[in-house]
């Protein structure tokens, strides 16, 4: 982990207007994340975790504020540039895997390479996809369709897809939300290993204290803001989460503050 700033936001505001109601999702978020960090974003439902991830990754627009990724102002990019930037610098892992069900594992994984500006040939793309699948332990399932794989295997394919392009940042939205505890742990181990080996930044949105506990740092959110005091957030967390929350994890924001 370095002290090199890769994500920097200032007063990010995002509001959803459904026509009848206006819902403020982000109310001025200031945030810094460093290269190679594995950060967990936690907070109660509706606090703006996923919205934050979406806006940071350029999947969604912001109303005001500043988002800089690796020094580039994301909110100033047009859609085309932002899409290209995303393809080359970011990887995504979603809760429900979100693989393309009609493509095989290898085809899903090689897709970002084919979209990249880096002139990777189809043959080279397939070779690298195969390598990525090998890295996640799925080399023998390369030609299987997602429907033929288990949930854990599908999530590994998603991780392989997210990493195949060697992106600087990997965004993961509830990556273990649909998995049993053992598979969740396997996935987390895999992400941690890749994070350490490649010095890639992982930003993980999760409800799970166990997952959060394994991150370098937890960013707590409440009502669309970053909450410096996790105890305040804990008050807003559902009872069942609190019951399952180990004490050391509640204290983790302090314990796991990066040393920069």
Partner 1 sequence: MNTIFGIPANILLYTLLALSGLIVLGVGVTALRFPVAFRLGIRNLPRRKSQSFLIISGLALSTLIITSALGIGDTVDYSVKSGVYDNLGGIDMQIATSKLKAQSSFSFGSGAPATTAADNWFDAGVANEVAGQVDGVTLDASVAAAIQTLPVVNSQTKLSEAAVEIRGLGGATGNGLPLPEGLNSLADGEVLVNQSLATALDASIGNELMIIKGMPQTFTVAGIVPDGELAGSSLAVILPLERAQVFFGKPGQITAVFVSNQGDSETGAALSDKAASQLEPIAGSLVVNPVKAEQLDAAATSAEFITTLFVTFGTFSIVSGILLIFLIFSVLAAERKSEMGMSRAVGLQRADLVRQFVTEGLAYNLLAAALGAALGVGAAILLASAIASLLSSSTLSVTPRVSLRSVAIGYTLGLVISFVTVVFSAVRNSRVNIIAAIRNLNLPVPPRLPQWTLFLRPFTVWKAAVQKAGQGNYGEALRLFLFAGPKAVLSFWGGLWARGPVLLALGFLFAWVGVNVAKQSGVYGLGVSMFLIGLGQFFQWVRIPSRWAYTFTGLSLILYWSLPTREIGKLKDLGNNPGDFFISGMFLVGGAILLFLYNADTLLNVFAALFGRARSLLSVARVSVAYPVSAKGRTATTLAMFSLIIFTLVSTATITNTFSNFLDVEGGSGGYEILVQTNPFNPVSADKFTSGIDQLVADGKIEQPAALASAVFAPVKAQSPNMTASANYAINGADAAFFETNNLALNGIAKGYTSASEVWAALQADPTLIVVDGFSVERSGDPTFQRDESAFYISAIRASDTAFDPLKVQITGKDGTAHEFTVIGTLGSAPAFYGALMSAEAAKSLGYEGANRYFVRLESGADAQITANAIKSTFSTAGLQTSLLKEQLEKSRATVRSVFYLIQGFVGLGLLIGIAALGVITIRAVVERRQQIGVLRAIGFQRGMVQSVFLLESLFIAGLGTVIGYGLALTFAYNLYLQVAADQGLAFLPPWVVLAGIGAAIFAASLLTAWLPSRSTSKIVIAEALRYE
Q: Characterise 65 by phi-psi region: left (phi > 0), alpha (psi -120 to 50), beta (else).
A: left
Residues 202 and 172 sit within 8 Å (Cβ to Cβ): yes
State the alpha helices, DSSP H only, in 180-229. Answer: 181-198, 209-213
| Contact flag: residue 70 with partner 1 (CB under 8 A) | no
CA distance 3 to 34: 6
Q: Is 242 in the site for partner 1 (CB under 8 A)?
A: no
CB of 138 to partner 1, least distance (A): 18
Q: Is the CA virtual torsion 53, 59, 65, 66 positive or negative?
A: positive
Residue among 98 and 199 whose Cβ is closer to partner 1: 98
> At a CB cut-off of 8 Å and minimum separation 6, what does 12 contact?
26, 28, 29, 30, 31, 52, 55, 62, 64, 65, 66, 67
Binds partner 1 by CB under 8 A, chosen from 49, 86, 156, 222 = 86
Per rule CB under 8 A, is residue 51 in the interface with partner 1?
A: yes
Q: What part of residues 173-232 is at the interface with partner 1 (CB under 8 A)?
A: 173
Instruction: Supply the minimum distance, in Å, between the C-beta of residue 92 and partner 1.
Output: 5
* Sites for partner 1 among residues 94-123 (CB under 8 A): 94, 98-103, 107, 111-112, 114-116, 119-122
Q: Select 53 or 249, whichever has its Cβ closest to partner 1.
A: 53
User: What's the residue count for the chain?
Assistant: 260
Q: Provide the minimum distance between the beta carbon of 243 and partner 1 in the complex, in angstroms, as a whole number.
A: 27
C-alpha pair distances (Å), 43 with each of 54, 138, 210: 16, 33, 14
Q: Point out which residues bind partner 1 (CB under 8 A).
A: 50-51, 54-55, 57, 59-60, 79-80, 83-84, 86-88, 92, 94, 98-103, 107, 111-112, 114-116, 119-122, 125, 145, 147, 161, 173
């Amino acid at each position: 982990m370095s002290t090199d700033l890769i994500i920097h936001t200032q007063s990010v505001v995002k509001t959803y207007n459904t026509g009848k109601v206006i819902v403020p999702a982000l109310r001025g978020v200031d945030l810094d994340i460093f290269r190679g960090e594995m950060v967990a974003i936690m907070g109660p439902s509706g606090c703006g975790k996923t919205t934050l991830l979406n806006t940071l990754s350029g999947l969604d627009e912001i109303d005001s504020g500043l988002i800089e990724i690796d020094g580039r102002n994301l909110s100033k990019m047009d859609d085309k540039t932002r899409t290209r930037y995303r393809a080359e610098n970011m990887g995504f892992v979603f809760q429900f895997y979100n693989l393309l069900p009609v493509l095989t594992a290898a085809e899903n994984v090689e897709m970002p390479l084919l979209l990249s500006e880096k002139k990777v040939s189809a043959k080279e793309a397939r070779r690298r996809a195969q390598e990525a699948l090998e890295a996640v332990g799925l080399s023998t399932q390369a030609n299987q369709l997602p429907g033929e794989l288990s949930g854990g295997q599908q999530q590994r394919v998603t991780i392989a897809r997210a990493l195949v392009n060697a992106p600087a940042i990997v965004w993961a939205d509830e990556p273990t939300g649909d998995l049993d505890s053992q598979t969740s742990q396997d996935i987390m181990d895999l992400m941690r290993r890749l994070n350490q080996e490649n010095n890639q930044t992982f930003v993980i949105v999760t409800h799970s204290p166990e997952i959060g506990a394994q991150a370098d740092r937890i960013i707590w959110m409440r009502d669309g803001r970053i909450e410096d005091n996790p105890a305040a957030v804990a008050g807003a967390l559902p009872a069942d989460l609190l019951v399952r929350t180990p004490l050391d994890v509640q204290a983790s924001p302090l314990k796991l503050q990066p040393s920069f």
